[in-house]
Structure formats: structure tokens, C-alpha cells
């Protein structure tokens, strides 16, 4: 981050947001620290800036939404990142979750199908001073083969099931967070693959994400 968070005029709002995220049950210190650092007002449309530090989802254009910060925090906490991982994110959206991941992992590779959102996310991340991120415009249900395998993955859109290419690109011992279910209600699910290739699924919470569109998504 280029500018210490304490010196910008939104720092007080961010401290209150950290308290809201903590109240939602998030305990991972690295995740809470990331929430305290990332200037969320740069990731929401200008007209909605006054709501940027409320723990709510907001529209970001192209019929998509940025999730509530506590939802992002819960997903990232479940990945148990140490700060060194190579992470794949499917559904860059505004780039806010990408920024949280960039502060809690090593490198982030993020795929977004809507070019206008990917462009906006690149601008948002640059404005926030976040550097260790690469964004690809394409169908994230296919993963990002050139940089596979990944230590961890986050799918930021509702998926009918786990896309097979993503499982193939997850390292043995890797963790994936994905909302599984129909477009109107999903279960945020932690998918792990052990060293023998055995898959386990742990349901974490109910969720409502926008649909994942693509070869291994809806349509
Ligand atoms: N977490 C994001 C919000 C994600 S909304 C944020 O912090 O702003 C879900 C995103 O997934 C949308 O931007 C949508 O365009 C994208 N998406 C849907 N299907 C996709 C696919 N197959 N590949 C890549 N992105 C996809």
C-alpha cells in the first residue's frame, strides 16, 4: 500500500468496519489487518462512497455486486493463508476482495469475464497501491492454466458445482472456497484436497452470490 491507512480521512471509518467484521465472528489477525488497510471507498461507485465502510453488499455496475466485507473476510479466513500462497480468484468484480487477498497471500491471479469490470478493478487496485495481482479477462471456470497449480482458490460467484478445471489446478493440500447451489441460495463451501487427491467438502454458511457464468458455470 502506498499510503499509510492512518493518514487518510477514511481511517476512522475503516476501524469501525474492522469492529463490525470482528463482531461477525472473524478472528484471523491478518484478515482483520487487511480490512483495516484496504481503502474500500476506492472500490465502490463514487455515488456510494458514503456507504463504503458499512458491512453491506453494494452494486458495482454491469449487474454485479461487491459482497459485504464480513463475507469476504469469512471466505479468506477459511483459506488459512500464511502470506506466501499463490491464490486464484474467480470473479474479480471491483477488485476489493482481490486487494484483501493480496495483503494476506503471496500473489493473486484473478479472472473476470466482464472486461469493463476487469479494467475498473485494475484502476482501483492501482489507486489503492496494491501490486502483487494479475488480472485476466476470461472464463474463470476454466481456471488459469499458465499459473497453475494454486495453493488456494476463491470463487466469488454462485456455482452449480465445483468446476472440474479448478480442482485439477488446485495443489494437493490446497483449499478452495466456493458458493455451491442454485442462483437464489447457496452454501459457502470449503473444498479441500489432501495429498492423496481425496476431496472433502465442509459447508460454512448460507450465501447469496451472483451467478457464475461460463463453461462449468450456469448457462
Ligand atoms: N468479490 C468481488 C465481487 C464479485 S461479483 C468484489 O469484491 O467486488 C462476481 C463476479 O464474478 C462478477 O464480477 C462477475 O462478472 C464475475 N464472474 C461471473 N462468472 C464468471 C466467470 N466464469 N469467470 C470470471 N468471472 C466471472
In the structure, what pLDDT confidence band is assigned to residue 1 with cuts at 50, 70 and 90? low
Residue 9 confidence (pLDDT): 87
pLDDT number for residue 5: 46
The pLDDT confidence band at residue 197, using thresholds 50, 70 and 90, is confident
Question: How much is the pLDDT for 8?
Answer: 78
pLDDT above 80: residue 90: yes
54: Cα within 13 Å, side-chain hemisphere: 7
Reply yes or no on whether the pLDDT at 4 is more than 90: no
**Residues 36, 67, 159, 205: which is the catalytic one?**
67
Q: Please say if the pLDDT value at position 113 is more than 80.
A: yes
Least confident of 16-20, 142-146, 149-153, 207-211: 207-211
Average pLDDT over residues 111-136: 97
Residue 67 is a catalytic residue: yes
Expressed in angstroms and rounded, the spacing between residue 183 Cα and the centre of ligand 1 is 13
Read off the pTM.
0.95
**Confidence at 6, pLDDT banded by 50, 70, 90:** very low
In the DSSP assignment, the letter for residue 214 is: S
Residues 152, 171 contacting (CB under 8 angstroms)? no
Which atom of ligand 1 is found nearest the CA of 94? 8
- CA-CA distances (angstroms) from residue 187 to 104, 117, 155, 191, 205? 24, 25, 12, 12, 6
State residue 178's pLDDT score. 97
Residues 61 and 137 sit within 8 Å (Cβ to Cβ): no
Amino acid at each position: 500500500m502506498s499510503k499509510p491507512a492512518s493518514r487518510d480521512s477514511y481511517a476512522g471509518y475503516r476501524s469501525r468496519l474492522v469492529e463490525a467484521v470482528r463482531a461477525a465472528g472473524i478472528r484471523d489477525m491478518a484478515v482483520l489487518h487487511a480490512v483495516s488497510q484496504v481503502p474500500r471507498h476506492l472500490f465502490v461507485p463514487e455515488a456510494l462512497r458514503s456507504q463504503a465502510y458499512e458491512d453491506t453488499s453494494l452494486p458495482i455496475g454491469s449487474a454485479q455486486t461487491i459482497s459485504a466485507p464480513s463475507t469476504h473476510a469469512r471466505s479468506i479466513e477459511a483459506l488459512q493463508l500464511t502470506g506466501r500462497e499463490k491464490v486464484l480468484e474467480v470473479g474479480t468484480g471491483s477488485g476489493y476482495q482481490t486487494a484483501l487477498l493480496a495483503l494476506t497471500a503471496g500473489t493473486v491471479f484473478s479472472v473476470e469475464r466482464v472486461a469493463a469490470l476487469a479494467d475498473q478493478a485494475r484502476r482501483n487496485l492501482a489507486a489503492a497501491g496494491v501490486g502483487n495481482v494479475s488480472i485476466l479477462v476470461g472464463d474463470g471456470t476454466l481456471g488459469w492454466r499458465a499459473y497453475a497449480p494454486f495453493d488456494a482458490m476463491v470463487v466469488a460467484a454462485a456455482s452449480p458445482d465445483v468446476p472440474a478445471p479448478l480442482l485439477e489446478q488446485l495443489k494437493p493440500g490446497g483449499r478452495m472456497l466456493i458458493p455451491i447451489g442454485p442462483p437464489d441460495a447457496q452454501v459457502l463451501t470449503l473444498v479441500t484436497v489432501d495429498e492423496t487427491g481425496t476431496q472433502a467438502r465442509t459447508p460454512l454458511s448460507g450465501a447469496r452470490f451472483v451467478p457464475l457464468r461460463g463453461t462449468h458455470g450456469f448457462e
